[in-house]
């Protein structure tokens, strides 16, 4: 039986002509995700239970039971950066190698974070919807110039947001306990925060760029939302689970903070009756952070090369 590779991300298809020849010339047969959506655990087991040595995976779930059931699996190549959908301990135990497509989508996600910041600062979606309903009224916004942007997590994406924020004349606060001394702190407009509480208290905009881990789950909770300024705006392009969504709803409904804009949600897609979606001061986009022509092209090539390298080692 030939060796097979499962490719789950839907957007892979847009640039598959770049990656398929590389994979096929190594003698692998390709299994595509034809469902048009993220695969379920059982669907992955059905497709990859036997003969699949490598998976290029998006946000499809790879918990312990799936990894155990995929008995020929040797390597997982993440088509992106967040590894929270993979049971890393089980993968280690089973000697399954893992790599991620570092440096492929950081500019795209950073640009979306900045776009969401402006969208909220100037109420762009709300005002546009009002105009389409026939109302030519105005809502007063705020400038971002001179404001403080707090970054929770300052890795590849956080750094791109930081650069852009400095270009906009903002001050930047950084909370990232795993960052060593870094030249970014030589800039007088960049300061390190020693706690998330301090960052929430001081920032006009808070933007989340940390991975989902047990430490970061609900890192923005009721108590921290209460520390934030009444005019503060929360931006989340990382993972929905970083924010306690019930607490966020209450803070937005009670106008404890001015707004929140997210590209991610705890359940994607959210339930159509989700209460946050009914609020005018909440924006949600459909996990489009890395969904640009440029990032998708890079993710396709890098994730394919990462997988082939791991399988050849
Ligand atoms: P990265 O690994 O380069 O950076 C993550 C940073 O978070 C690191 O500097 C790390 O030290 C820091 N960190 C870890 N634990 C922390 C904690 N407890 N508190 C504060 N900081 C902490 O990853 P990246 O490329 O910058 O991506 C960040 C996250 O963005 C990913 O894990 C993923 O969840 C998300 N993401 C979303 C999209 C999207 O489409 N919306 C696309 C790519 C990545």
Cα→Cα distances 253→12, 259, 279, Å:
39, 10, 7
CATH at 27: 3.40.50.720
- The answer to whether residues 161 and 250 belong to one domain is yes
- The answer to whether residues 68 and 163 belong to one domain is no
* Residue 158 Cβ < 6 Å to ligand 1: yes
Residue of 123, 239, 258, 298 marked active site: 239
Range of the domain at 10: 4-102+293-312
- The answer to whether residues 40 and 55 belong to one domain is yes
- The answer to whether residues 78 and 138 belong to one domain is no
Q: Computed from CA positions of residues 248, 267, 81, 178, in that sequence, does the dihedral angle turn out positive or negative?
A: positive
pLDDT at 32: 96
* Residue 177 Cβ < 6 Å to ligand 1: yes
- Residues of the chain with pLDDT below 70 are 1
Taking the centre of ligand 1 as the mean of its atom positions, its distance from the CA of residue 217, in whole angstroms, is 12
pLDDT at 292: 98
Number of neighbouring beta carbons within 10 Å of residue 285: 18
Q: What is the pTM of this model?
A: 0.96
- The answer to whether residues 128 and 242 belong to one domain is yes
Average pLDDT score, the chain: 97
Cα→Cα distances 51→29, 75, 244, Å:
10, 13, 40
* Residue 109 Cβ < 6 Å to ligand 1: yes
- The answer to whether residues 127 and 48 belong to one domain is no
- The answer to whether residues 56 and 117 belong to one domain is no
Domain count, the chain: 2
- The answer to whether residues 67 and 22 belong to one domain is yes
pLDDT at 180: 83
Between the CA atoms of 219, 225, 228 and 233, what dihedral angle is there, to the nearest 10 degrees? Answer: 90
Q: Which of 114, 169, 174, 163 is nearest to 147 (CA)?
A: 169
pLDDT at 1: 60
- The answer to whether residues 144 and 220 belong to one domain is yes
- The answer to whether residues 128 and 273 belong to one domain is yes
Per-residue pLDDT reduced to its tens digit, 125-150? 999 999 999 999 999 999 999 999 99
**Most informative mutation of 38, 106, 157, 196 for ligand 1 (most atoms within 8 A of CB):** 157
- The answer to whether residues 147 and 257 belong to one domain is yes
Atom of ligand 1 lying closest to residue 237 CA = 41
- The answer to whether residues 140 and 53 belong to one domain is no
Taking the centre of ligand 1 as the mean of its atom positions, its distance from the CA of residue 51, in whole angstroms, is 33
């Amino acid at each position: 039986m030939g060796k097979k590779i499962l490719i789950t991300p839907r957007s892979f298809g847009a640039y598959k002509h770049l990656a398929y020849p590389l994979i096929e010339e190594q003698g692998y047969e390709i299994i595509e995700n034809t469902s048009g959506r993220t695969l379920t655990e059982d669907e992955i087991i059905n497709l990859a239970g036997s003969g699949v040595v490598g998976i290029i995976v998006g946000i499809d779930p790879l918990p312990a039971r799936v990894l155990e059931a995929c008995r020929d699996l040797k390597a997982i190549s993440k088509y992106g950066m967040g590894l929270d959908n993979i049971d890393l301990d089980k993968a280690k135990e089973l000697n399954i190698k893992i790599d991620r497509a570092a440096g492929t989508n950081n500019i795209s996600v950073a640009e979306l974070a900045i776009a969401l910041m402006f969208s909220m600062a100037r109420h762009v979606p709300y005002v546009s919807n009002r105009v389409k309903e026939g109302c030519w009224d105005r809502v007063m916004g705020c400038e971002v110039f001179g404001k403080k942007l707090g970054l929770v997590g300052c890795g590849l994406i956080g750094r791109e947001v930081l650069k852009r924020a400095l270009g906009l004349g903002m001050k930047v606060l950084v909370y990232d306990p795993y960052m060593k001394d870094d030249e970014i702190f030589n800039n007088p407009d960049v300061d390190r925060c020693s706690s998330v509480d301090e960052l929430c208290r001081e920032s006009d905009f808070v933007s989340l760029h940390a991975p989902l881990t047990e430490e970061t789950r609900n890192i923005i909770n009721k108590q921290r939302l209460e520390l934030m300024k009444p005019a503060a705006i929360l931006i989340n392009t990382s993972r929905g689970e970083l924010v306690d969504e019930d607490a966020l709803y209450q803070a937005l409904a009670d106008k404890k903070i001015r707004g929140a804009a997210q590209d991610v949600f705890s359940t994607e897609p959210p339930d159509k009756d989700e209460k946050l979606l009914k609020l005018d001061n909440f924006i949600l986009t459909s996990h489009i952070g890395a969904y640009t022509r440029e990032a998708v092209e890079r993710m396709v090539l890098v994730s394919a090369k990462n997988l082939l390298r791991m399988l050849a080692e």
